[in-house]
Amino acid sequence: MAVDQGEVQAAKSILWPDEKVELTVTQRRVGPGGSMATPTTVITTDKRLIILNRASLGMRKDYEVIPYRQITSVRLEHGIISSSVFIRVQGYDRDQGLLKNGKEEGEIDGLRNNDAKELADYLSKRQEQIEQVAEGDEPQGQMDNGMGAYVYCSKCGTKDNAGAKFCSKCGARLG
Ligand SMILES: [Zn+2]
């Protein structure tokens, strides 16, 4: 797994103290609609997927967080000069970023072939692990274990009880 410590340092304010970065992948080539001035960096940790938009990284605001268990499919597409990783995310609603305007499948484009493969493999592995857990004792989708269903913060991925109005970790409004 390739981890760029510079990227980890740049994301320091977003990462949790106990969070372990396992892979960093940065856009190298510009796809349609992309721009060399604003490469996107994808960070996978032991807890969640984080997508950073370098354009406003200084502001530490333009990033999105996707919990692995909300990823429903991962697809790799090799192009001539670069590759893309496509992911589908369940219950993820944002008006900007990877899945803006209600897009069903988000594309992380402009990746080096090796980087794209590594990212797709990593996310697929995560998916398998979650499916194994789900087959164990938890029903798929929204869970109810007697405590009520859970919600996941769209900002940081923290799990909270469904009735919660604000994220217990970052304070973002839930629902
Ligand atoms: Zn949160």
- Domain 5-161 fold is PH-domain like (2.30.29)
Q: Ligand 1 centre from 157 Cα, in Å?
A: 6
pLDDT surpasses 90 at 45: yes
φ/ψ (deg, to 5) at 92: -120, 115
Q: Ligand 1 centre from 120 Cα, in Å?
A: 25
Average of per-residue pLDDT values in the chain: 80
pLDDT value, residue 143:
47
Q: Ligand 1 centre from 7 Cα, in Å?
A: 22
pLDDT value, residue 121:
96
When pLDDT is averaged across residues 24-35 and rounded to a whole number, the result is 68
Q: Ligand 1 centre from 36 Cα, in Å?
A: 30
Residue-wise pLDDT for 140-166, tens only, equals 444 444 445 778 888 898 888 878 888
Q: Ligand 1 centre from 37 Cα, in Å?
A: 29
pLDDT value, residue 75:
96
Q: Ligand 1 centre from 155 Cα, in Å?
A: 5
Q: Ligand 1 centre from 111 Cα, in Å?
A: 28
Residue-wise pLDDT for 121-132, tens only, equals 999 999 888 877
The whole-angstrom separation of Cα 86 and Cα 119 is 10
Q: Ligand 1 centre from 125 Cα, in Å?
A: 24
Residues 6+ apart with CB under 8 A from 62: 52, 53, 55, 56
Which of 59, 64, 68 minimizes the C-alpha distance to 10?
A: 59
pLDDT value, residue 56:
46
Q: Ligand 1 centre from 32 Cα, in Å?
A: 32
Q: Ligand 1 centre from 97 Cα, in Å?
A: 17
First to last CA, the chain: 35
pLDDT surpasses 80 at 19: yes
When pLDDT is averaged across residues 50-76 and rounded to a whole number, the result is 77
Q: Ligand 1 centre from 144 Cα, in Å?
A: 21
Residues 6+ apart with CB under 8 A from 8: 15, 21, 24, 43
Q: Contact at 8 Å (CB) between 24 and 6? A: no
Single-letter code of the amino acid located at 14: I
pLDDT surpasses 80 at 70: yes
Tokens of 17: 């103290």
pLDDT value, residue 152:
84
The whole-angstrom separation of Cα 175 and Cα 91 is 10
